[in-house]
């Protein structure tokens, strides 16, 4: 979701100071302030409804950091290493990525096998109990 200020058309980010009047339309605090100038009331820049300066409130958000997928350390190490040969660097990176992919595929396979074994075990137990 992209939320933007209807006065300057810029998107809000977590550092934006945002204010809202009674109509509920949010704007940058500074954008709204420059709309007011010395006036005590204006019309909302978005819906033209009556806006009184003393009724403007600042909004505060609880910001949750985006979870970034961590690049495997080995990839970073290669990237930051002093290897100047770009070709070699690329080959190493490719190799690492292939290995990582393979290992995750192995894990999936292992999980499947474990599941199959569980099912087999249950079947055996059932037969043994009959």
- Return residues touching Zn ion (CB under 5 A): 5, 7-8, 23, 25, 28, 31, 44, 46-47
Compare residues 28 and 78 and give the one whose CB is closer to Zn ion: 28
Least distance (Å) from Zn ion to the CB of residue 50?
A: 9
CA angle 11, 12, 15 (to 5 degrees): 140
Nearest Cα residue to 29 out of 17, 41, 37:
17
Least distance (Å) from Zn ion to the CB of residue 51?
A: 7
Alpha-carbon distance 3 to 59, whole Å?
14
Compare residues 32 and 92 and give the one whose CB is closer to Zn ion: 32
Least distance (Å) from Zn ion to the CB of residue 40?
A: 17
Q: Measured between alpha carbons, how far is residue 83 from residues 71, 76, 80, 97 in Å?
A: 19, 12, 8, 18
Q: How does DSSP classify residue 4?
A: B
Compare residues 56 and 75 and give the one whose CB is closer to Zn ion: 56
Least distance (Å) from Zn ion to the CB of residue 44?
A: 3
3 state DSSP class of 26: strand
39 CB contacts (<8 Å, ≥6 apart)?
Answer: 53
Compare residues 15 and 68 and give the one whose CB is closer to Zn ion: 15
């Amino acid at each position: 979701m992209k939320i933007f200020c209807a006065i300057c058309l810029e998107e809000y980010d977590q550092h934006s100071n945002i204010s809202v009047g009674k109509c509920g339309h949010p704007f940058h605090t500074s954008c709204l302030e420059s709309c007011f100038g010395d006036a005590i009331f204006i019309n909302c820049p978005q819906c033209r409804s009556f806006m009184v300066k003393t009724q403007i409130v600042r909004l505060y958000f609880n910001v949750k950091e985006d979870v970034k997928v961590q690049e495997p350390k080995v990839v970073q190490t290669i990237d930051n290493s002093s290897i100047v040969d770009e070709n070699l660097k690329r080959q190493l990176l490719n190799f690492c990525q292939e290995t990582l992919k393979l290992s995750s595929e192995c894990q999936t396979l292992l999980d499947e096998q474990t599941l199959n074994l569980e099912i087999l075990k249950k079947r055996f137990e059932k037969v043994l109990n009959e």
